[in-house]
Amino acid sequence: MATPSASDREKVVSKLPGWIWQDLKIRSAQLGIEIQTAVEQGVTQWCGLASSPSPVDTAGADSFSTWLPPGQWDTFKKVAADRKVSLIQGLAQAVQVWLHANPAPDVQRPEIPRRIIVCNQKGGVGKTAITAGVGEAMSEGQESLHPVRVSKHFAAALREAGSTDPLELEDLPGLGLRVLLVDFDPQCHLTQQLGHEPLPMEGDSLTKHMAGEPAGHLRDLIVPIEGDRFGGRLKLLPSCNDAFLLDVKLAGVRAREAALERALTAVESDYDVIIVDCPPSLGLSMDAAVYYGRRRSNEQLGSSGALIVVQAEDSSADAYGLLTSQIEDLRNDLALEVDYLGIVVNHYDSRRGYIATSSLEAWMDIKDPRVVGLIGDLKEQKEAVRVKKPLLDYAPKSDQAVGMRALAREIS
Residues 300 and 375 in one domain: yes
The reply to whether 53 and 120 lie within a common domain is: no
Instruction: Give CA–CA dist 157/370, Å, rounded.
Output: 12
Say whether both 322 and 283 belong to one domain.
Answer: yes
Please count the structural domains in the chain.
2
Is residue 194 located within the same domain as residue 83? no
Report d(CA 62, CA 282) in Å as an integer: 59
The residue from 69, 101, 133 where one domain ends is: 101
- Please check whether residue 309 is in contact with residue 120, taking contact to mean a CB–CB distance below 8 angstroms: yes
Q: What is the pLDDT of residue 378?
A: 87
Same domain for 350 and 398? Answer: yes
Determine the Cα–Cα distance for residues 163 and 333; give it in Å rounded to an integer: 41
Q: How would residue 281 be classed by pLDDT, with cut points 50, 70 and 90? A: confident
CATH of the domain at 269: 3.40.50.300
The pLDDT confidence band at residue 162, using thresholds 50, 70 and 90, is: very low
Q: Residue 95: which CATH number? A: 1.10.1220
Determine the pLDDT at residue 5.
45
Q: Is residue 107 part of a domain?
A: no
Q: What is the dihedral of CA 165, 170, 173, 178, to 10 degrees?
A: -10
Would you list the DSSP string of 17-65? -HHHHHHHHHHHHHHT--HHHHHHHHHHHHHTSSS--S----TT-EEEE
Quick check: 404 pLDDT over 80? Answer: yes
Average pLDDT over residues 328-346: 93
Tell me the residue range of the domain where 69 lies. Answer: 2-101
CA distance 137 to 135: 5
Residue 26 has pLDDT above 60, yes or no: yes
Q: In terms of domains, do 324 and 180 share one?
A: yes
Q: How confident is the model at residue 168 (pLDDT cuts 50, 70, 90)?
A: low
8 Å CB contact between 43 and 72: yes
- Whether residue 200 lies inside any domain: the answer is yes
Give the pLDDT of residue 308: 96
Q: Is residue 353 situated within a structural domain?
A: yes
Q: Is residue 7 very low, low, confident or very high in pLDDT (cuts 50, 70, 90)?
A: low
Residue 109 included in any domain: no
Same-domain check for residues 83 and 213: no
Tell me the C-alpha distance between 239 and 256, whole Å: 19
Report the share of the chain in percent with pLDDT over 90.
70
pLDDT of the residue at 317: 81
**For residue 158, pLDDT beyond 70:** no
Average pLDDT, the chain: 90
Tell me: do 269 and 307 sit in the same domain.
yes
Residue 108 forms part of a structural domain: no
Average of per-residue pLDDT across 30-53: 94
Q: What is the pLDDT of residue 355?
A: 75
Q: Are residues 85 and 139 in the same domain?
A: no
Residues 66, 194: one domain? no
50 within some domain: yes
Q: Are 48 and 187 in the same domain?
A: no
When pLDDT is averaged across residues 172-201 and rounded to a whole number, the result is: 95
- The dihedral sign for the CA sequence 389, 142, 29, 159: positive
Q: Residue 106: inside a domain, yes or no?
A: no
358 pLDDT tier (thresholds 50, 70, 90): confident
Least confident of 12-26, 316-330, 344-358: 344-358
Confidence category of residue 171, pLDDT binned at 50, 70, 90:
confident
340/295 Cα distance (integer angstroms): 10
Q: What is the pLDDT of residue 170?
A: 83
Q: How far is 218 from 46, CA to CA, in rounded Å?
A: 53
